[in-house]
């Protein structure tokens, strides 16, 4: 059965295209107008709002809640204070990534975990004798992402608590008389917030947010615009940058935290007071240097890109729609050295960019690779260079 989010009634009125996709069993707008690029520029130049309600939400409470999460999550939850949130991942016993998500800490022993895929059964099976309970709170809340350089001004009209809210901080507030939780989080790589509200109050809160955005170029944006922003921000997407080890057929479809670019999450891995799942396997990988890949950004050489199309008698396209297939990477001798997982033309950078996986020896910024494209039904390659992620990282995001 296809479900609708608590915001759907209003969003359906705003959706001119009636283009809906399916996300975790819910209807989710692909775009609201005929041009997803217009929605994208609203986020980059002013502000936009996106319905993130389909994210799974798990309430984790009890005396041993911190101990439980510390034994499951790769990143050390003990460093996350009440009133803060933490992006994290969790792995299997072999050190392969299962999934990623955000943990919101509300109190010493009270957390809320969001994830893109269902994890209730998996997490519940790990509780054992610990004093902790895990509840699926997905349908209890609507979640609205308000993203872009004017997002703070817009939400500040309704909730002065956002003033001074730190990056990955969250606070309780009221909007239109309804209690909400506002976090400085998002999936666009820009200044942004997410508003969590009880389902029964969702429409009133959405209407108040829309009204506060009048005069700011504020508009809804769909998945197509969101995917453009997340690539510029270098943010991974499950089933694109990585597959859950739980569902992968072979190790070719699995990846470790280090290979995925999350080595920064492994601080303190050698301390014996937190033996999280997969720790021993990850430590062996780090000690023995067995990582197969390095996750990097790729910048295509614009002049070479123009050249290969001109030689084929074509005008070089600049399509902001991300490719939905992998693009192979080669060295100058024609040996395959990696692959791009997400490739697109960035409207704001005016460059072709890609999130990619390369051999570790080519992971340093400035390393040269060649990206495979199909032109006139033939494989051609375009020169490119390795760079650090993210591509787009304005100071306002964390200031």
Q: What is the pLDDT of residues 65-111, one digit of tens each?
A: 999 999 999 999 999 999 999 999 999 999 999 999 999 999 999 99
Q: Provide the β-strand partners of residue 142.
A: 197
Alpha carbon distance 114, 91 (integer Å): 16
Alpha carbon distance 305, 140 (integer Å): 49
**In Å, how far are 212, 324, 395 from 294, measured between CA atoms?**
43, 21, 26
All structural domains of the chain, each given as residue ranges with its CATH number in brackets, are 8-56+139-221 (3.30.1360.120), 294-395 (2.40.30.110)
**Average pLDDT across the chain, whole number:** 97
Q: What is the largest CA-CA distance in the chain?
A: 68
Give the number of other Cβ atoms within 10 Å of residue 331's Cβ. 16
Alpha carbon distance 172, 181 (integer Å): 5
Q: Provide the β-strand partners of residue 27.
A: 22
**In Å, how far are 83, 154, 313, 359 from 196, measured between CA atoms?**
14, 16, 52, 41
Q: Provide the β-strand partners of residue 57.
A: 114
Alpha carbon distance 399, 397 (integer Å): 6
C-alpha 193, offset from chain centre: 14
Q: What SS3 state is found at 92?
A: coil
Q: Is residue 168 within 8 Å of 184, Cβ to Cβ?
A: yes
Q: Provide the β-strand partners of residue 99.
A: 90
**What's the pLDDT score for residue 91?**
98
Q: What is the pLDDT of residues 188-241, one digit of tens each?
A: 999 999 999 999 999 999 999 999 999 999 999 999 999 999 999 999 999 999
**What's the pLDDT score for residue 228?**
98
Alpha carbon distance 26, 211 (integer Å): 26
Q: Report which secondary-structure segment, H or E, holds 22.
A: strand 19-23
pLDDT band at 1 (very low <50, low <70, confident <90, very high): confident
Q: What is the pLDDT of residues 303-350, one digit of tens each?
A: 999 999 999 999 999 999 999 899 999 999 999 999 999 999 999 999
Strands 178-183, 170-175: pairing kind = antiparallel
């Amino acid at each position: 059965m296809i479900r609708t989010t608590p915001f759907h009634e209003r969003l359906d009125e705003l959706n001119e295209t009636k283009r809906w996709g399916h996300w975790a069993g819910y209807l989710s707008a692909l775009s609201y107008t005929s041009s997803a690029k217009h929605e994208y520029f609203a986020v980059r130049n002013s502000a936009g709002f996106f319905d993130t309600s389909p994210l799974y939400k798990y309430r984790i409470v009890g005396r041993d809640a911190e101990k439980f999460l510390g034994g499951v999550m790769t990143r050390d939850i003990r460093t996350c204070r009440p009133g803060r949130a933490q992006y994290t991942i969790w792995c299997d016993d072999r050190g392969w990534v299962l999934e990623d998500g955000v943990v919101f800490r509300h109190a010493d022993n009270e957390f809320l975990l969001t994830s893109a895929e269902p994890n209730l059964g998996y997490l519940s099976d790990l509780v054992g004798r610990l004093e902790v309970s895990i509840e699926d709170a997905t349908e209890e809340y609507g979640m609205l992402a308000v993203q872009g350089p004017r997002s703070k001004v817009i939400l500040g009209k309704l909730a002065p608590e956002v003033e001074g809210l730190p990056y990955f901080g969250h606070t309780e507030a009221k909007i239109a008389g309804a209690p909400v939780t506002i976090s400085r989080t998002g999936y666009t790589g820009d200044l942004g917030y997410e508003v969590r509200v009880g389902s029964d109050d969702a429409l009133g809160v959405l209407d108040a947010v829309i009204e506060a955005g009048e005069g700011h170029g504020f508009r809804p944006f769909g998945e197509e615009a969101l995917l453009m922003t997340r690539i510029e921000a270098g943010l991974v997407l499950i089933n694109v940058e990585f597959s859950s080890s739980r569902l992968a057929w072979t190790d070719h479809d699995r990846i470790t935290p280090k290979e995925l670019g999350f080595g920064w999450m492994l601080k303190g891995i050698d301390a014996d007071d937190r033996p999280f799942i997969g720790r021993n396997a990850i430590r062996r990988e780090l000690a023995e240097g067995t990582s197969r890949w390095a996750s990097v950004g790729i910048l295509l050489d614009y002049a070479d890109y123009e050249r290969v199309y001109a030689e084929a008698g074509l005008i070089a396209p600049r399509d902001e729609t991300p490719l939905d297939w992998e693009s192979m990477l080669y060295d100058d001798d024609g040996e395959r050295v990696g692959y791009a997982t997400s490739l697109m033309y960035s409207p704001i950078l005016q460059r072709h960019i890609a999130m990619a996986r390369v051999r570790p020896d080519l992971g340093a910024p400035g390393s040269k690779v060649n990206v495979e494209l199909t032109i006139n039904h033939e494989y051609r390659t375009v020169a490119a260079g390795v760079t650090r992620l993210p591509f787009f990282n304005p100071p306002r995001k964390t200031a």
